[in-house]
Amino acid sequence: MEFTSGEIADGIAVVRPTGRLNMVSAGRLRELITSTVAGGRSRVVVDLTGVEFIDSSGLGALISGLKTARQAGGDLRIAAPNEQVSLVLRLTNMDRVLPVYASAETAYGNG
């Protein structure tokens, strides 16, 4: 699993994981979101375009990131999951906690 991160607009950070978001990689995502928020960017988008698979550990990392961002006065949003990731989000009702946006750029109304 690889991660890239950056900023898409006015203090909105984007994290782009690529590969399988599972037990092996979830800790790294959690750390990356935590350091992003600690660096002063509490509005975070996790762009799931490159994620081919997610399991419960990956979902846990997203929820942990959501909690971290909200505690800092921000929010975490997810964008562009593939069908497998969308199915897992629906089956676990996580799509109610983490609404899905079409793209990272539209997650905060910037696109």
Distance CA 12, CA 59 (A): 21
Is 99 among the domain residues? yes
Q: What is the pLDDT of residues 15-31, one digit of tens each?
A: 999 999 999 999 999 99
CATH number of the domain to which 63 belongs = 3.30.750.24
- Residue 88 CB neighbour total at 10 angstroms: 19
Residue 111 has pLDDT above 60, yes or no: no
Is 88 among the domain residues? yes
pTM, whole model, 2 decimals? Answer: 0.94
Is 110 among the domain residues? no
Total domains in the chain come to 1
Q: 61, 7, 79, 8: which is closest to 39 by C-alpha?
A: 7
Is 45 among the domain residues? yes
Is 111 among the domain residues? no
Q: What is the pLDDT of residues 67-87, one digit of tens each?
A: 999 999 999 999 999 999 999
Q: What is the pLDDT of residues 31-70, one digit of tens each?
A: 999 999 999 999 999 999 999 999 999 999 999 999 999 9
Q: What is the DSSP letter of 111?
A: -
Q: Which domain holds residue 27?
A: 2-104
CA triplet 91, 92, 94: central angle to 5 degrees? 115
Distance CA 52, CA 50 (A): 6
Q: Is 17:46 a contact under the CB 8 Å cutoff? A: yes
